[in-house]
């Protein structure tokens, strides 16, 4: 068990009980548990997915970070790992699965395509980054990013989790967390929140 940083309450523990007593904060132990068991929902959409798969395999092995439960399911997932080109056709599915993930949940955009559209930016069928659809916590540059870059991004996510305070986190606030409206796919993507403005514009036309 990695306990580095866990038993550091900010004041001296008397010498005679050192090694027998551990003092920590709720935040530190709670975040340590969460950051050490981030289960990803893999969302491999294009070439970047090969690097994601390689990161899970024996040579890089992100099981070392407690992330070995990687499934294409929102059930019990903490992290949506979007890896590859986000097409407009895929957008409703991404948002639907994100809404189905329980809190706390995080999103990593792996690679240039997921972060901003990449070489296909402004393409007729491509969303210019998954952050147009759902909130992203960590962006990983590269085309494709190497497994080392992905691991670095996952460590950044762990650092973010370490810095969270359980009282401030959105999933402990009162009231329901609003789901993100699922965009509709017609001749192009239609974002539900834009519908009133579209109706107004069509009246004026």
Interaction site with ligand SF4 (CB under 6 A): 46-48, 84-85, 111-113, 118-119, 143-144
* Helix axis angle, 147-162 to 26-35, nearest 10°: 160
CB of 43 to ligand SF4, least distance (A): 12
What is the rounded distance in angstroms from the CA atom of residue 149 to the CA atom of residue 188?
Answer: 33
Question: What is the C-alpha separation between 88 and 193, in angstroms, rounded?
Answer: 17
Q: Rounded to the nearest whole angstrom, what is the least distance from the CB of residue 117 to ligand SF4 in the complex?
A: 9
31 vs 85, which CB is nearer to ligand SF4? 85
Q: Please say which residue, 117 or 183, places its beta carbon nearer to ligand SF4.
A: 117
Query: CB-wise, 40 or 144, nearer to ligand SF4?
Result: 144
Q: CB of residue 167 vs ligand SF4: minimum separation in angstroms?
A: 38
Secondary structure E strands in the chain: 40-44, 79-83, 106-110, 138-140, 184-185, 189-190
CA gap 71, 58 in Å, rounded: 17
What's the closest the beta carbon of residue 143 comes to ligand SF4, in angstroms? 3
What lies within 8 Å, CB to CB, of 108 at 6+ separation is: 79, 80, 81, 82, 136, 137, 138, 139, 140, 153, 154, 157
**Of residues 81 and 161, the one with the C-beta less far from ligand SF4:** 81
How many angstroms separate the CA atoms of 27 and 192, rounded?
A: 37
C-beta of 84 vs 183, nearer to ligand SF4: 84
Least spacing, CB of residue 79 vs ligand SF4, in Å = 18
């Amino acid at each position: 068990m990695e306990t580095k940083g866990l038993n550091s309450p900010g004041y001296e523990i008397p010498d005679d009980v050192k090694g027998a007593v551990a003092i920590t904060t709720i935040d530190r132990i709670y975040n340590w548990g969460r950051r050490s068991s981030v289960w990803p929902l893999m969302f491999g959409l294009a070439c970047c997915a090969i690097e994601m798969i390689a990161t899970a395999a024996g040579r890089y092995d992100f099981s070392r970070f407690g992330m070995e439960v990687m499934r294409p399911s929102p059930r019990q997932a903490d992290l949506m790992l979007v890896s590859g080109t986000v097409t407009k056709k895929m957008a409703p599915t991404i948002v639907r699965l994100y809404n189905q993930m329980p809190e706390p949940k995080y999103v990593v955009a792996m690679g240039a395509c997921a972060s901003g559209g990449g070489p296909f930016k402004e393409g007729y069928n491509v969303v210019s980054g998954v952050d147009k659809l759902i909130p992203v916590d960590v962006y990983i540059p590269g085309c494709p990013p190497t497994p080392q870059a992905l691991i670095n991004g996952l460590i950044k996510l762990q650092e973010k989790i370490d810095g969270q305070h359980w009282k401030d986190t959105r999933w402990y606030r009162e009231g329901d967390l609003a789901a993100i409206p699922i965009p509709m796919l017609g001749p192009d993507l239609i974002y539900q929140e834009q519908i009133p403005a579209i109706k107004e514009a069509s009246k004026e036309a």
